A = this chain, B = another copy of it.
């Protein structure tokens, strides 16, 4: 066994997980390719769980980061005024917010996505003086105690060790089949003086549930949800941590629905280069924080600001959204033509460059597991999500070359074929 693998296995906590799925030591990485210490090459359809939308070690961003480091610009400054932060805000406002007529204040949270969710929870409750929050079945919003209460998978919740309160779950669109209308249900419990459900401060939604199994909310669903929230004085928070930053073909995932959430959480790819960063966007009039009422040592990660600014520019200059739409169409076409015909129980869901191949109807409940393992053998890094982890999750860097994309898709097809004995 590799020296480093041994050291890690012997000393890192049992909580480690991805290394169990991909048990090699990774060294180099470029765009959508990763190499292990033996020089083996892997296509990356995981993309740092959405943190690497601009690919591994994006050259344009790297150059700025190294330049910043070389000049001894200030690297750690919490929420002091810095040039790096000023430039990021200026660029984010000019290239992202202003063109979309979005009037948000920016809050830089501790450098993890869950921290932005925790901040949003506090601020919603503070604004509305209510404690209940609505979240959707299938949701994943983070692992710290506040966010965890909004996260639905049993394993994560069982880890809490205390009751997870002040959250009410409702089914996601089509979560209980097409005959169950989740928003009818939501309105019914809001209007029923005997529902037992406390009026919520806010609804938290992922417009595409990633961990929940690649469930894409329809435009109608999102529009109506916003309408219900407005009519009932409830805040709407879009958790765009995984599906924002152009993952779905627009910078914010909710743009396709023409809605304007009251708050938006961003993390993962906002840092541009895989650097930890987290951001809460707040509708102007809701920004009633006291100074430092939510804080953290890493709430300003200056090299992340540098990378994030460059990433925004890169995004616009290279028309990343356009790329996503085009490549997304290729994925859809490929799966429909090459993979779905392999077995009628296979289904597909997705948008932009997030797609799920669902094996949930297979008798072999471990089939998706076998596919992912087989893919890795063949040089593709891909993970699973959703109920029973039955959904193979295609999540490449948005900057992936088409030939690498097809290489990855071929591996998936070949793996399934092999397992089906075709």
Chain A residues with CB under 8 Å of chain B are: 2-5, 7-8, 11-20, 22-30, 34, 37, 48-52, 56-57, 62, 65-66, 69-83, 85-87, 89-90, 93, 105-108, 110-115, 118-119, 121-122, 124-126, 131, 135, 137-139, 142-147, 149-167, 169, 171, 176, 179-180, 184-185, 188-189, 192-198, 201, 212-213, 267-268, 273-276, 280, 282, 287-298, 301-303, 386-388
Contact A292 B155, beta carbon cutoff 8 Å:
yes
Query: Which residues of B are found within 8 Å of A387, using beta-carbon distances?
Result: 192-194
A193 to B93, CA, bound (A): 39
Closest A-B pairs by Cβ, 5 of them = A76-B274, A4-B86, A125-B161, A145-B146, A152-B196
Query: Which residues of B are found within 8 Å of A20, using beta-carbon distances?
Result: 291
Contact B276 A137, beta carbon cutoff 8 Å:
no
A297 to B18, CA, bound (A): 11
Query: Which residues of B are found within 8 Å of A163, using beta-carbon distances?
Result: 131, 162-163, 165-166
Contact A74 B26, beta carbon cutoff 8 Å:
yes
- Chain B's nearest CB lies how many Å from the CB of A128? 9
Contact A212 B188, beta carbon cutoff 8 Å:
no
Contact A161 B121, beta carbon cutoff 8 Å:
yes
Query: Which residues of B are found within 8 Å of A192, using beta-carbon distances?
Result: 137, 387
Q: A5-B81, A75-B275, A137-B197 are in contact. List 17 more A-B contacts (CB 8 A).
A: A11-B105, A13-B287, A15-B291, A16-B79, A25-B82, A49-B78, A49-B297, A57-B72, A110-B143, A110-B144, A112-B296, A121-B161, A137-B189, A150-B196, A159-B290, A164-B198, A176-B188
Contact A79 B194, beta carbon cutoff 8 Å:
no
With A20-B291, A76-B52, A193-B388 known as contacts, the answer to whether A25 contacts B86 (CB < 8 A) is: yes
Query: Which residues of B are found within 8 Å of A93, using beta-carbon distances?
Result: 7, 11
Contact partner, A154, options B52, B146, B193, Cβ 8 Å: B193
A192 to B51, CA, bound (A): 28
Q: List 15 A-B contacts (CB under 8 A).
A: A5-B86, A15-B294, A22-B80, A26-B81, A27-B82, A27-B83, A48-B78, A110-B114, A112-B115, A138-B194, A150-B196, A176-B184, A179-B179, A180-B185, A274-B302
- Chain B's nearest CB lies how many Å from the CB of A145? 3
- Chain B's nearest CB lies how many Å from the CB of A187? 10
Contact partner, A8, options B86, B157, B276, Cβ 8 Å: B86
Contact A297 B48, beta carbon cutoff 8 Å:
yes
Contact B297 A50, beta carbon cutoff 8 Å:
yes
Query: Which residues of B are found within 8 Å of A108, using beta-carbon distances?
Result: 12
Contact partner, A194, options B131, B152, B288, Cβ 8 Å: B152
Contact A110 B112, beta carbon cutoff 8 Å:
yes
Contact B287 A301, beta carbon cutoff 8 Å:
no
A24 to B262, CA, bound (A): 31
Query: Which residues of B are found within 8 Å of A161, using beta-carbon distances?
Result: 121-122, 124-126, 131, 201
Contact A297 B268, beta carbon cutoff 8 Å:
yes
- Chain B's nearest CB lies how many Å from the CB of A311? 13
Contact B13 A105, beta carbon cutoff 8 Å:
yes
Pick the most buried of A65, A81, A85, A213: most chain B CB atoms within 10 A of its CB: A81
Contact partner, A112, options B25, B75, B112, B388, Cβ 8 Å: B112
